[in-house]
Structure 1
Amino acid sequence: MLDVTVVLLEEGFSSTAIMPVEIFHFAGKLWNDLHDCPAEPAFRVRIASLDGGAVHSIYGLGMTPHVALSDVERTDVVIVSTSKLDLDLAFVENSALLPWLRRQHEQGARVVGVCMGAAYLAEAGLLDGRMATTHWALADKFAARWPRADWRPDLFVTEDNRVLCSGGVFASIDVSLYLVEKLCGHEVAVKCAKSMLLPMPRIHQTGYAMQTISKSHGDDRIREVEAFLQANFHTDISTQALAERAGLGERTFVRHFKAATGKLPAGYVQALRIQAAKAMLERDAKPVQAISYDVGYDDVAFFRHLFKRIVKMTPTEYRSHFAPLSVRAEAALEASQLN
């Protein structure tokens, strides 16, 4: 049986600790209990705080740990939950955690940072030269603060030399099931997920992010072209026509546009179209083919392929995640009728 230690931090999100506790506790157990089979628990779970005292979440939920960090000499898995958003203050208050994390990793433990918990791994130096992820909205700040890590905000879960990260609060579910599958096998992980009515681990969080079309800049000529494209992205416009609108030669325009926005004109239009398609999928039940036409793609197969390449899920999958309940229910009914 493997030892899992979940670390509680003050003013964090309780779910980033509770979900891992329940998933590891029920792995090999809940499915068996529901089917009147002998339980085969795979993990022994301990909850720890810095001093062994109770910890309160950001919304006041009190959580009482089993042990203090100093009581845990060795463990196979460490889960670092989230803490307060003021990281500078949090690092001071939780300074004892950093050497403890380094020691556990040196002793062979897998160390996991959930959402903002990845910041503690980075501050401890465990992410230097390693792949990492966090919530997509924090990625740029984390990359600026800890540039030696290879930040991959497109991913829900990363693993690099026994150091794991997960993006977002509920990605604690993804990384926990990921480890159950890795350490216990696919069958145990699937049974655990099914018994708890959970999906198996997601890979990409790209579809959940608010994508920035253009970086901030002060080029008025390019701003004017951007405004024109935002109003006319659904039509085909040549680069030459855009250059003439900006009063520049084509090659000069492309160079200025890329410097100002970070994208080539074609890539910029593509980003606008995908953002518009996402908004339509979130809003109503219009057929995917109609949405493809509306945003400027006559070839719906090409649109589907492009959407999946960029968003990491198909248009239908995206709608099933983010459309209003009435739209999701209608789509599910149509799918069941087709089957």
Structure 2
Amino acid sequence: MKQVVIIVPKEYANLASVTGAFQILARANGYWLGLGNKPKMEVRIAGFMTELKLDGGFFSIHPVNIEDLPKTDLIIIPSVSHEYVNVIKHNAVLINWIREQYKTGAEIASICTGAFLLAATGLLDGKICSTHWNAASEFKRLFPNIELHTDKLVTADQGIYTNGGAYSFLNLMLLLVEKYFDRATAIFCSKVFQIDMDRTSQSPFFIFQAQKNHGDELIGQAQAFIEANLSAKISFEELASKLAISRRTFDRRFIRATGNTPVEYMQRVKVEVAKNTLEKGRKTIFEVMNDVGYSDDKAFREVFKKITGVSPLDYKAKYN
């Protein structure tokens, strides 16, 4: 029987990701037993404290002592507070425990921003992972050696699983249910908890937030120019000339400051404006396309889908 531990880190842990993970795995185990099988796993909630109060004290978790547990087969790390540096600082012992468990054969799954705690173990270095799109910039700053894929809803790499943001962890749990039980049990859980099994990306939920705190005044001027001229055809050669730098230097500084090439940045800004307009539902897709400077509907659809993962028509139908 597999030993599964949902860990409770010191400082803030997201209650929903703890209870949600527990309930789905418990229900999967119950379904499995109901088919006449032996129990597949034992799920415990554990940590290095006896109580953790959450959400202003309205809720509390009472984990078992993690040092009293037998060998662990699967560790689930819940979402954590946005004070990432403090969370890592106050959980050094837990981070070391996770690292040692992986070395002895345990698999690890992190939920949303739990990826920060997982990354602090060093186990993600050279591997791919995902986390909430809203935490991507801070994650890249703290862990530059990890290949972050915020477009992916779930990643799997050498016994380490991660997922995107918020309640997308439900899809991660279905993946684990399928792995540790079978496909039929995962389908059962998807129906009982009403989780869409076909979701593979968090891109449709991404809200582009322009990187403006880089301190490069010249690139800040370029960003402002792009954002003020969305419907115009922008020549980056001319823009670089206006800013009195070479195109090559302009591109290098732009990428360093924003993490995007000038063309990528322009596309992301255009798509974000298009998304906001489509959500309001008052304009046709053709009108929105023209508003953000596209005259070729095929090109607009391709760029929109590349960034969001869905077509403009599907996006409008889903969110207006």
Report the TM range for the smaller structure's normalisation. Answer: 0.7 to 0.9
Q: Which has the larger radius of gyration?
A: 1
Match of 1:313 in 2: 310
Which secondary structure state, in structure 1, belongs to the residue aligned with residue 156 of structure 2?
A: strand
Unaligned runs of 5+ in 1: 328-339
Deviation digits for residues 221-274 of structure 1 (CA, Å, limit 9, x no counterpart): x65554444333223345566467x176xxx65334423433555444323321
Separation in 1 of the partners of 2:300 and 2:137? Answer: 29
Taking the TM superposition and a 5 Å limit, the aligned residue runs for 1:103-122 are 103-122=100-119
Q: What's the TM-score once normalised by structure 2's chain length?
A: 0.83
Deviation digits for residues 19-62 of structure 1 (CA, Å, limit 9, x no counterpart): 111111112646x89xxx747664432111224x2222244211
Match of 1:282 in 2: 279
Give the alignment's Cα RMSD to 1 decimal. 3.0
Match of 1:159 in 2: 156
Q: 2:195 aligns with which of 192, 195, 198?
A: 198
Query: Aligned pair in 2 of structure 1 residues 186, 304: CA closer, same or farther (>3 Å)?
Result: farther
Q: Specify the code of the residue in structure 2 equivalent to 1:13.
A: N
Match of 2:13 in 1: 12
Separation in 1 of the partners of 2:248 and 2:25? Answer: 53
Q: Specify the code of the residue in structure 2 equivalent to 1:101.
A: I
- 181-190 or 9-18, larger mean C-alpha shift: 181-190
Query: Aligned pair in 2 of structure 1 residues 319, 2: CA closer, same or farther (>3 Å)?
Result: farther
Which secondary structure state, in structure 2, belongs to the residue aligned with residue 115 of structure 1?
A: coil
Match of 2:48 in 1: 50
Give aligned pairs, total: 312
Q: 2:248 aligns with which of 232, 255, 275?
A: 255
Q: What's the TM-score once normalised by structure 1's chain length?
A: 0.79
Q: Specify the code of the residue in structure 2 equivalent to 1:18.
A: T
Query: Aligned pair in 2 of structure 1 residues 231, 5: CA closer, same or farther (>3 Å)?
Result: same
Deviation digits for residues 152-204 of structure 1 (CA, Å, limit 9, x no counterpart): 22322222111122222323212111212233333321221111111126332
TM-superposed deviation, 1:217: 5.4
- 203-212 or 71-80, larger mean C-alpha shift: 203-212
- 273-282 or 208-217, larger mean C-alpha shift: 208-217
Separation in 1 of the partners of 2:264 and 2:82? Answer: 35
Query: Aligned pair in 2 of structure 1 residues 265, 145: CA closer, same or farther (>3 Å)?
Result: closer
Q: Is the 8 A contact 2:230 2:293 kept in 1?
A: yes
Taking the TM superposition and a 5 Å limit, the aligned residue runs for 1:48-197 are 48-51=46-49, 53-60=50-57, 61-65=59-63, 67-197=64-194
